[in-house]
Amino acid sequence: MNEVYHAKLNVEGRLSIPAPCRKQLGITPGQEVLLQITELGLLVYTQDFAVKRLQDWVTAHVPPGVSLVDELIAERRAEAAKEANE
């Protein structure tokens, strides 16, 4: 996964992603990808990868047994009750 591939921009500034890269990323022609500029250069990844990465981050930062949905609902109910009493 640490291979380096060569690609060339065409006259319109478009870049073709080499087939081995597309295969490793699991992307197909016509599929949208996300691009991010980092200190190392251009990062290309799929939306599914971004969602999985976010889910992993949340899992790492939310203690087991804590439901963010339940906490949000409780907060909204408390706010609604407070507004009803004002």
**pLDDT range class, residue 86, cuts 50, 70, 90:** confident
For residue 62, give the DSSP letter: S
Mean of pLDDT over the chain: 92
The predicted model gives 31-35 an average pLDDT of 93
Question: In this predicted model, what pLDDT tens digit does every residue of 66-81 receive, in sequence order?
Answer: 999 999 999 999 999 9
Question: Which of 14, 41, 19 is closest to 5 using CA atoms?
Answer: 19
**What long-range pairs does 14-22 form, CB within 8 A, spacing at least 24?**
17/44
pTM of the model: 0.63
Give the number of C-alpha atoms closer than 13 A to the C-alpha of residue 3, restricted to the C-beta side. 7
The pLDDT value recorded for residue 1 is: 65
The tokens for 38 are: 């980092």
